[in-house]
A = this chain, B = another copy of it.
């Protein structure tokens, strides 16, 4: 057994990947033990990296938001493409939808503050490429206000037992809003 730093980094990456899968399949209520089992690491290792469920969820959300930001800063970035990556996370990750509803009363204040910060990063990534461009534009403020409301609307529609069904409903929701969306996929460098 190698407990050195390289092994620790490998275990952590395996745990994050497993958490993404488990949460996509079973939702946020899935037990942490299922994540350790999927990652092929011991419970001890899990708790060393992630003291509780909130810590795991925070890492998965951070990774989702980072992918959206990368899609927004890629050389060939366009609004439709970023929406495609966003829609992937909406349909793949129950955690991602839960954080979009963070302004509801029952959420803990610290979790809520973190969720609002993440939502702000998603909003800024989208606004970089909002059709109409960055220069002053009479329609711009309204459109900027509306984009996160539209994302919340699509997240409300993205329900269903399978990712495919959630994607079908999300794309129909974007269509009802008259918004074009690029390929629905994770961002890959």
A residues in contact (CB < 8 Å) with B: 25-29, 94, 100-101, 103-106, 146, 149-150, 152-157, 159-161, 169, 172-173, 176-177
Question: Could you list 18 A-B pairs, sorted by A, with CB under 8 Å?
Answer: A25-B105, A26-B106, A27-B104, A28-B106, A29-B106, A104-B159, A105-B161, A146-B172, A149-B157, A149-B172, A152-B156, A152-B157, A152-B159, A152-B169, A153-B173, A153-B176, A155-B156, A156-B157
A153 in complex: contacting residue of B103, B106, B157, B161, CB < 8 Å:
B157
Within the complex, what minimum Cβ distance (angstroms) separates A97 from chain B? Answer: 8
Known: A28-B106, A101-B159, A152-B156. 5 other contacts (CB 8 A): A105-B161, A146-B172, A149-B176, A153-B154, A156-B156
Residues of chain B lying within 8 A (CB to CB) of residue A94: 104
Residues of chain B lying within 8 A (CB to CB) of residue A169: 149, 152
Q: 10 smallest A-B Cβ distances: which pairs? A: A156-B156, A153-B153, A27-B106, A152-B157, A153-B157, A152-B156, A29-B106, A153-B156, A155-B156, A103-B159
Residues of chain B lying within 8 A (CB to CB) of residue A29: 106
Instruction: Say how many copies of this protein the assembly contains.
Output: 2
B101-A176 in contact (CB<8A): no
Residues of chain B lying within 8 A (CB to CB) of residue A156: 100-101, 152-157
How many angstroms between the C-alpha atoms of A156 and B105 in the bound complex? 15
How many angstroms between the C-alpha atoms of A95 and B70 in the bound complex? 37
Residues of chain B lying within 8 A (CB to CB) of residue A155: 156
A149 in complex: contacting residue of B28, B149, B152, B173, CB < 8 Å:
B173
Residues of chain B lying within 8 A (CB to CB) of residue A161: 103, 105
How many angstroms between the C-alpha atoms of A156 and B177 in the bound complex? 14
